[in-house]
């Protein structure tokens, strides 16, 4: 058996996956409002700088920004 197949078979025969997802953290209302304002482009320059730093320091907030941006960009039917 080639090494490529051996590695593949060992992978499938392995136990439970080692990777686990993180639980979704609750974002405070005030912070969610700031994220929504940022997503909508309604921030001052100072607020934008603050939000960019916050997102760099807490990348787990990025999915919330993506959700807010998508919600704001949806075209009403």
Q: How far is CA 36 from CA 5, 8, 70, 71, in A?
A: 49, 44, 10, 9
The CA-based angle 73-23-64, given to 5 degrees, is 15
Q: Is pTM beyond 0.75 here?
A: no
- Chunked in runs of 10, what are the mean pLDDT values of the chain (77 residues)? 59 54 74 94 94 93 91 74
What confidence score (pLDDT) does residue 3 get? Answer: 60
């Amino acid at each position: 058996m080639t090494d490529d197949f051996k590695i593949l078979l060992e992978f499938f025969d392995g136990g439970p996956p080692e990777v686990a997802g993180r639980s979704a953290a609750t974002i405070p209302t005030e912070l969610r409002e700031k994220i929504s304002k940022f997503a909508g482009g309604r921030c001052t320059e100072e607020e934008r700088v603050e939000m960019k730093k916050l997102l760099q320091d807490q990348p787990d907030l990025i999915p919330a920004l993506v959700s807010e941006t998508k919600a704001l960009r949806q075209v009403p039917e």
